[in-house]
C-alpha cells in the first residue's frame, strides 16, 4: 500500500490514543478494551482501504489478541486486592471457552454487516440497562449454579467473541443483576476476559486463514502491526484504571459504563446506514 508518511503518522497516533483509553477502561470497567478498539480499528482499516468484507472481522480478531495481556494485567491487579470472585470464575472455565470456539466458527461464515448489527444491538441494550439501573431490575438471591451458570458462561463467551470484547460488558451486567457489588463484578470480569481472549484470537486466526483482502502484517483476522503498537501502551495504563475503579462509587461506574456502551452502539448503528 502506497501511503504518505503523514497519513501513517496519523494512523499510529490514532491507534496509540485508542490504546490509552482501552487500557484505562480495562482497569476501570473490567473490560479488555475491545469496545473501544473495535470501532477505532474499523475506521483505521477503512482509511487504509482494507476490503469491507474482512474489515470488521479483522477489527474484532485484532482486538481479541490485544485483550490477552490487557486482561491478564487487569485480573492480576484486581486479584491482589482480593476483589475477584474466584469461585464464579472457576465455574466458567469450561463453558466460556466453549462459547468462544462456537463463536469463532460462526464468525467465519458471518458478514461484516452481521457483526456490526450484533455489536450495536448488544451494547445498546446493555447501555440502557446500566443507565436506568433501578433496584427492581435486580433479581433476589445469589447467582444460580449449574446448569444456568454454565449457559450464561457459554453466552458470555459466544457474544463477547463476536463483539471482540473481553466479556466485561456482559459479565458486569450478569453479576450486578443478582446484586453483586459493581467493584466485584469489574474485578471478576477481568478474569473472564482471560478465558475469552486466548481461545478467541486463536479462533479468529483460524477463521481468517487465507482470506483475501487482508492488509500486510496479518495472520488470519489478526493484524500484528496494530497488536505491537497497542499492547505496550495498554499494559502501562491499565493499573491506572484499576485505581480509578476502586476510588469511584457504584452508581458512578454504572452511569459511566452505560453512557460509553450507548455511544459505541450508536456509532456502529450509524455505520450500517
Share in percent of the chain as helix, strand, coil (round to 5): 75, 0, 20
Three-class DSSP category at 93: coil
Cell 464468525 appears where? 107
pLDDT attached to residue 94: 95
For 254, phi then psi, to 5°, come to -65, -45
In whole angstroms, give the CA distance from residue 187 to residue 167.
12
Determine the pLDDT at residue 240: 84
- What cell numbers appear for 175 in the block? 453479576
Q: What is the pTM of this model?
A: 0.81
Concatenating the DSSP letter of every residue in 128-190 gives HHHHT--GGGSPSSSPP-TTHHHHHHHHHHHHHHHHTS-SHHHHHHHHHHTT--HHHHHHHHH
Helix (H) or strand (E) holding 74: helix 52-80
Closest by Cα among 22, 25, 37, 30 to 171: 30
Please tell me the predicted confidence (pLDDT) of residue 2: 56
| Residue 208, pLDDT score | 94
Q: Give residue 223's pLDDT.
A: 92
Q: What is the CA radius of gyration of the chain?
A: 17
C-alpha atoms less than 13 angstroms from C-alpha of 180 in its C-beta half-sphere: 23
Q: Between the CA of residue 154 and those of 177, 212, 238, what are the distances in Å? A: 17, 31, 27
Give pLDDT, residue 237: 85
pLDDT given at position 135: 53
pLDDT tens, the chain, 273 aa long: 556 677 677 777 877 877 787 777 767 766 656 777 887 788 788 877 889 899 999 999 999 998 888 788 888 888 888 889 999 999 999 999 999 999 999 998 888 889 888 888 988 887 887 777 655 567 777 888 888 999 999 999 999 999 888 888 788 888 888 888 878 888 898 899 999 999 999 999 999 998 998 988 899 999 998 899 888 888 788 788 878 877 777 677 778 778 877 887 887 788 777
Domain ranges of the chain: 5-271
Amino acid at each position: 500500500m502506497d501511503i504518505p508518511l503523514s497519513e501513517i503518522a496519523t494512523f499510529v497516533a490514532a491507534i496509540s490514543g485508542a490504546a490509552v483509553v482501552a487500557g484505562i477502561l480495562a482497569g476501570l470497567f473490567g473490560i479488555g478494551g475491545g469496545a473501544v478498539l473495535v470501532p477505532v480499528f474499523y475506521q483505521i482499516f477503512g482509511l487504509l482501504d482494507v476490503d469491507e468484507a474482512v474489515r470488521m472481522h479483522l477489527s474484532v480478531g485484532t482486538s481479541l489478541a490485544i485483550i490477552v495481556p490487557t486482561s491478564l494485567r487487569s485480573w492480576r491487579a484486581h486479584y491482589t486486592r482480593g476483589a475477584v470472585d474466584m469461585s464464579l470464575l472457576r465455574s466458567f472455565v469450561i463453558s466460556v471457552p466453549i462459547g468462544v470456539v462456537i463463536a469463532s466458527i460462526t464468525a467465519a461464515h458471518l458478514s461484516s454487516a452481521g457483526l456490526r448489527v450484533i455489536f450495536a444491538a448488544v451494547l445498546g441494550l446493555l447501555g440502557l440497562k446500566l443507565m436506568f439501573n433501578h433496584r427492581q431490575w435486580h433479581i433476589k438471591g445469589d447467582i444460580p449454579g449449574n446448569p444456568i451458570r454454565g449457559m450464561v458462561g457459554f453466552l458470555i463467551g459466544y457474544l463477547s467473541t463476536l463483539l471482540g470484547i473481553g466479556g466485561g460488558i456482559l459479565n458486569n451486567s450478569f453479576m450486578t443483576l443478582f446484586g453483586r457489588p459493581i467493584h466485584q463484578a469489574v474485578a471478576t470480569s477481568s478474569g473472564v476476559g482471560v478465558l475469552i481472549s486466548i481461545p478467541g484470537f486463536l479462533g479468529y486466526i483460524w477463521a481468517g486463514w487465507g482470506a483475501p483482502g487482508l492488509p500486510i502484517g496479518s495472520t488470519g483476522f489478526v493484524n500484528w502491526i496494530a497488536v505491537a503498537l497497542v499492547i505496550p501502551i495498554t499494559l502501562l495504563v491499565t493499573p491506572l484504571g484499576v485505581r480509578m475503579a476502586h476510588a469511584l462509587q457504584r452508581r458512578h461506574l454504572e452511569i459511566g459504563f452505560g453512557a460509553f456502551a450507548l455511544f459505541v452502539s450508536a456509532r456502529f448503528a450509524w455505520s450500517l446506514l
